[in-house]
Amino acid sequence: MHRQRILFAILGIHITGALSDSELDGAWQKWMGLNGKTYPNRVSEFTHRQTWERNYWRVLEHNSRHNSTFRMELNFLADQTFERASIASAKLTEDTLRFQPESDIAVSFNDILLPDSWDWRTKGAVTPVNEQGQFGDSQAYAAGECVESFSFIKTRDLVVGSSAEMHDCCTATGFATKTVFDCVHNIGGLCTDRDYPSSYEQCYNDSCTPVAKVSGGQKLQTGDEEAMKSAVYLTPVLAFVDGSLTSFQLYKEGIYSDPYCSSSTVNHALQVVGYGSLNGMDYWICRNSWGLYWGMNGYITIARNRRNMCGIASFSSYPV
Ligand SMILES: *[C@@H]1O[C@H](CO)[C@@H](O)[C@H](O)[C@H]1NC(C)=O
Ligand SMILES: *[C@@H]1O[C@H](CO)[C@@H](O)[C@H](O)[C@H]1NC(C)=O
């Protein structure tokens, strides 16, 4: 019954505004409470509420579609415009230029017979989900996570590496190297999160002992999802996507794909930890750095072999 009323509300909203103001008020208050939101003043609350209301209808409309492969939700980002993505975007333009793929990067993976699905989480190769809040540098997190996983695969020792060191030394002010992993090699590896806990805004790699090491990095050919599959089977991969769409920010579960997602303008880094297929639809398993309350406990599955959805295979690389 309730569901039907909501559906009615979706259909009728533009004409009658079927959901009453007080019901919407109630939903807003409840959402604020659940997400611990407070605003400095009424103007600020009003602005955020307007965004939230737009997203409220958006989520309702999206989730009522029967042909979508994923669901959205009013998560903690529902009162924000594109702030989060644009912070990352401003940074990444610089970073992706610095770590731009060259043409001489064709890696040949010998004909290893790859399993149809793979998930590094089940091998104990993945550390807990991060929340990039501190400096909003998704690349520092995702690249650091790849170093942690790679180091685990080599040594069987899983350590939480310092994303602050990654930020200070390699992604914010670092050396111009072929990949971010070559930079990690140059600085001797990553120290633990505990030994290099926060950013100094300049590289202090000598202040601690590196524990997670790599010999360098390898780029993948732009758009080659088959090569990326092989690479993911070797070790988790650093990938960049267009994370700027509302559908991405308010993603809840399922296989994400959006026809408006760009495959050339990427602005957000993820760690690709596996792949699989569901009902004939292939996907990548990706770890985000927006905390546990985003997506599927911090993860998103993104459509695979759908013409490089969201640019997932546009700027990927992995440690060697
Ligand atoms: C899904 O359905 C919506 C209408 O509910 C339509 O606008 C959209 O084009 C459809 N998408 C696909 C992929 O079929
Ligand atoms: C820190 O980085 C510098 C510059 O690449 C390097 O020479 C040095 O060995 C690194 N320090 C440690 C402790 O590895």
Which architecture does CATH list for 84-319? Alpha-Beta Complex (3.90)
Region 293-316: what's the mean pLDDT?
Answer: 97
The DSSP code for 10 is: H
Region 36-49: what's the mean pLDDT?
Answer: 95
Domain locations in the chain as residue ranges: 2-68, 84-319
**How high is the pLDDT of residue 15?**
37
Q: Which atom of ligand 1 is nearest to the CA of 65?
A: 5
Task: State the burial class of residue 221 (Cβ atoms within 10 Å of its Cβ: 0-12, 13-18, 19+).
Answer: middle
The more confidently predicted of residues 190 and 112 is 190
Q: Which residue in 121, 31, 111 sits closest to 76, CA to CA?
A: 31
2 pLDDT band, cuts 50/70/90, is very low
Under a CB-based contact definition with an 8 Å cutoff, are residues 183 and 229 in contact? no
**How high is the pLDDT of residue 136?**
81
Is pTM beyond 0.85 here?
yes
Region 254-276: what's the mean pLDDT?
Answer: 95
**How high is the pLDDT of residue 11?**
44
**How high is the pLDDT of residue 17?**
46
**How high is the pLDDT of residue 4?**
42
Q: Is 67 in the pocket of ligand 1 (CB under 6 A)?
A: yes
Q: Which atom of ligand 2 is nearest to the CA of 169?
A: 2
**How high is the pLDDT of residue 201?**
86
Tokens of 106: 């064709």
> What are the pLDDT digits (tens) for 148-173?
999 999 999 999 999 999 999 999 86
Helix segments in 99-179, DSSP class H? 138-155, 163-166
Residue of minimum CA distance from atom 14 in ligand 2: 188
Region 247-255: what's the mean pLDDT?
Answer: 97
> What are the pLDDT digits (tens) for 170-208?
998 655 688 999 999 999 999 999 999 999 989 999 999
Residue of minimum CA distance from atom 14 in ligand 1: 67
**How high is the pLDDT of residue 172?**
84
Q: Is 65 in the pocket of ligand 1 (CB under 6 A)?
A: yes
Residue of minimum CA distance from atom 6 in ligand 2: 187
**How high is the pLDDT of residue 111?**
64
Tokens of 193: 């999160």
Cα–Cα distance for residue pair 69/59, rounded to 1 Å: 14
Q: Is 185 helix (H, G, I), strand (E, B) or coil?
A: helix
Query: Which of the ligands is closest to the CA of residue 183?
Result: 2
Report whether pLDDT(6) > 90. no
How many beta carbons lie within 10 A of that of residue 234, not counting itself? 15
Residue of minimum CA distance from atom 1 in ligand 2: 187
